Amino acid sequence: MTLATICKELKIDPADARVILRSLVKAKKLKHTPQGRWEWPRAEVASVKKQLMGKEPTKKPAKKATRKPAKKSAPPPPPTVETAS
């Protein structure tokens, strides 16, 4: 059964599911061949669903384009007080 079919049944985004599955493979909780398809025999589908249901995707936050902050102009000089002599 393909990941797309499982995601449709669980009503989750396939991209989020792949993030979860990659983290499970990295933690050696799920076996997957590198560059292989995300599909399983029917006997293993229940296990995969269980693992997907209990996890939240741990995506790294996207890097935002950084801009240099605008230069702030110098504050005006303090007012001078003239004293009568």
- The full set of domain ranges for the chain reads 3-53
Look up residue 42 and give its two tokens: 């029917």
Residue 7 clears pLDDT 90, i.e. is over it: yes
Using DSSP's 3-state secondary structure scheme, residue 50 falls into helix
Confidence at residue 73, expressed as pLDDT on a 0 to 100 scale: 78
More confident residue, 78 or 68: 78
Q: How confident is the model at residue 65 (pLDDT cuts 50, 70, 90)?
A: low
Confidence at residue 56, expressed as pLDDT on a 0 to 100 scale: 67
- CA distances (Å), 12 to each of 3, 39, 53, in order? 10, 16, 9
Q: What is the mean pLDDT of residues 4-33?
A: 90
Confidence at residue 80, expressed as pLDDT on a 0 to 100 scale: 83
* Euclidean distance between the first and the last CA atom of the chain, given in angstroms as a whole number: 96
